[in-house]
Amino acid sequence: MKMTARALLAAGTLLAHAAGPARAATAQVFSPPASSYDAESANYTGASNGTLQNGPVVPGKVFDRFVQIWFENTDFETAASSPTFQNLSQQGVLFTSYYAMTHPSEPNYIAVAGGDFFGNAVDDFRAIPMNISSIVDLLEQKNISWASYQESMPYDGFTGYNYTSFDYIAGSGDYTYYVRKHNPLIIFDSVSNVTDRALRIRNFNDFARDVNASAIPQWSFITPNLVNDGHDTDIDFVSQWIQFWLNPILADTRFNDNRTIILLTFDETETYSINNRIWTLALGGGLPAQLKNTTDDTFYTHYSCLSTVEANWGLGSLGRGDTNASLNNVFEFVANVTGWKNNGVSGSSPDIPLLNITGTIPGPLNPEYYVPFSAPNTSAVGAGGGPVFQGPGLNTALTAASQPAPVNLTAKGLDTPWAQNPGYDYPDGTQVYTSTPSPTGSASAGTRSWTRGEGRVAMVPALALLGLVVGPLLVL
């Protein structure tokens, strides 16, 4: 959900949140956070932490590297009217019938990683239990390297709700540039509670390091910060970030080689009263040359990003939205090669469901329509042809069909149990518990956030001490 600077000021006043960032009431003006896309910068907040270690490249049927870059809250027409986006579209295939799943932000990010948004209809703290799988489980089964790059995240594997750091645009004060709700994989305990996985969720200083080391993995998810992704700003601001960061890196073969596909999209539309069609472009050196500067009106959704990756590498599936034939069309330039048959829905077909429904979809992350997590459909067959992933602790008897009727936990003064902060974090690259898990139903459960320096004071003494060591790195 987008708030204007004025609304944020008003909300901030209402919440009387003392540690809240100072926000300018006037529109922000783009400033480059670094000297170039491959340079480290103090503006990225966290120091880099070495180079990503990847195994040998696992060849895909169409591409060997898939990079997703997500922007925020923009209607198709708004992006399509931007000269910078028009310019980009000449280099790729524009998907003119690609849809987000629901509103607001967080459920869309959860969906692209896990094949479901589990009824979530808010941007609050969420933590999905360890027996619920994500794309990472499928990639690791085939030893396909992966990472997520989160601009303005303070350190690798950071699990906090948001992070406030130096306002490099205003040149003074602090600003909340990083939010957990835009970091899809950290929300899955099966990623964030496993150290080797959590540390593959990296910041932009690591990104610069990885580009320079030619260590960009085979699958990555990139989230620019809250100003560069358009969340707190607009399409013109995003366009300037594209000119600073994306346009030059497209010419760098350490990032974009002839086996790379880059998918640019938005989490959701800005307008909730229209169906959720968003501007989405596939480009990169791996795109067949004849597809550049063309459009494809096949009906795609965020689940298509799962099914396409599964098809490309012959992966297993999650047995959720990624295997739901009404929502999982594989990008045609991949489906044609792998032999996958899409469902034939395209354009503005009446068969395209309403994907702007929010709040009323039952699920474990929806306290007003709460049902427990169910197992995936274990007999589903996805575009990769492999089996449905069944992780440790999964109770396959808990099928969707066996679910009890939804319960209104809010009416009982409770929140969903998955609003609790599980309490682990990685301030120095090692897992530590920063708090005891917060109780179910507590209004403030899990909404831990930190301001540069000051948040550490609230931690246990051993961590506060570490803060003294890490602190100076953070304020470089």
Ligand X SMILES: *[C@@H]1O[C@H](CO)[C@@H](O)[C@H](O)[C@H]1NC(C)=O
Positions marked active-site: 232
303 with 324: CB under 8 angstroms?
yes
Nearest-approach distance from CB 87 to ligand X, in angstroms: 4
| Cβ nearer to ligand X, comparing 33 with 382 | 33
63 with 260: CB under 8 angstroms?
yes
Residues that bind ligand X (CB under 6 A): 15, 17, 31-35, 41-43, 49-50, 83-84, 87, 90, 129-131, 142-143, 155-156, 161-162, 168, 176, 179, 189, 193, 199, 243, 247, 250, 257-258, 272-275, 291, 293, 332-333, 336, 354, 356, 368-369, 373-375, 393-395, 398, 408, 410-411, 422, 428-430, 447, 449
| Cβ nearer to ligand X, comparing 92 with 382 | 92
Q: Provide the terminal-to-terminal Cα distance of the chain, rounded to the nearest Å.
A: 32
110 with 187: CB under 8 angstroms?
yes
| Cβ nearer to ligand X, comparing 83 with 461 | 83
Quick one: which of 138, 167, 140, 173 has its CA closest to 152? 167
Task: Check the CA dihedral 160-235-251-294 and report its sign.
Answer: positive
The two three-digit tokens of residue 425, written as one number: 């974090």
| Cβ nearer to ligand X, comparing 63 with 168 | 168
* Residues composing the chain: 476
Nearest-approach distance from CB 45 to ligand X, in angstroms: 11
153 with 163: CB under 8 angstroms?
yes
Q: Which residues fall within 8 angstroms of residue 229, CB to CB, at 6 or more apart?
A: 70, 71, 72, 182, 223, 238
| Cβ nearer to ligand X, comparing 90 with 349 | 90
Nearest-approach distance from CB 165 to ligand X, in angstroms: 11
Nearest-approach distance from CB 68 to ligand X, in angstroms: 19
- Give the phi and the psi of residue 70 in degrees, each rounded to 5: -110, 130
Alpha helical stretches, state H, 226-270? 235-241, 247-249
183 with 159: CB under 8 angstroms?
no
87 with 245: CB under 8 angstroms?
no
| Cβ nearer to ligand X, comparing 50 with 387 | 50
43 with 33: CB under 8 angstroms?
yes
CA pair distance 270, 74, nearest whole angstrom: 5
267 with 70: CB under 8 angstroms?
yes
Nearest-approach distance from CB 179 to ligand X, in angstroms: 5
Residue 456 CA, distance from chain mean position: 26
Torsion of CA 27, 19, 168, 183, to 10 degrees: -90
Nearest-approach distance from CB 223 to ligand X, in angstroms: 14
| Cβ nearer to ligand X, comparing 393 with 460 | 393
CA pair distance 18, 8, nearest whole angstrom: 14
Nearest-approach distance from CB 55 to ligand X, in angstroms: 7
105 with 72: CB under 8 angstroms?
yes
